[in-house]
Amino acid sequence: MTASRRSALPTTGSRPRVGVLAVQGAFAEHERALSASGAAPVQLRSGEGLDGIYGLVIPGGESTTLRIVARDSGLVEALRDAVAGGMPVLGTCAGLIALADQILGGDPPLIGGLDVTVRRNAYGSQVASFEATVESDVPGESAIDAIFIRAPQIARVGAGVEVLARYAGTPVAVRQGTLVGTAFHPELTDDRRFHEWLVNAARARREQMGTILGEERRVGAQ
Q: How far is the CB of 150 from ligand GLN (least distance, A)?
A: 4
Interface residue with ligand GLN, options 35, 73, 117, 121 (CB under 6 A): 121
Phi, psi (degrees; rounded to nearest 5) at 162: -95, 130
Which is nearest to 111 in space by CA: 153, 148, 56?
56
Figure out which of the listed residues 15, 30, 119, 120 binds ligand GLN, where binding follows CB under 6 A.
120
Closest to ligand GLN by CB, 94 or 173: 94
Q: Does residue number 149 form part of the binding site for ligand GLN (CB under 6 A)?
A: yes
The whole-angstrom separation of Cα 160 and Cα 122 is 24
State the number of binding residues for ligand GLN (CB under 6 A).
12
Q: Looking at beta carbons only, is 40 or 90 nearer to ligand GLN?
A: 90
Binds ligand GLN by CB under 6 A, chosen from 21, 56, 89, 94: 94
> Are the C-beta atoms of 84 and 178 separated by less than 8 Å?
no
Per-residue contact string for residues 24-63; x = within reach of ligand GLN by CB under 6 A: ------------------------------------xxxx
DSSP string, 67-83: HHHHTTTSHHHHHHHHH
Q: From start to end of the chain, where are the E strands?
A: 17-21, 40-44, 55-58, 89-92, 100-103, 114-119, 129-136, 144-149, 153-157, 162-167, 170-176, 179-182
**Does 205 sit near ligand GLN (CB under 6 A)?**
no
Active site residues: 93, 185, 187
Binding site for ligand GLN (CB under 6 A): 60-63, 93-94, 97, 120-121, 149-150, 152
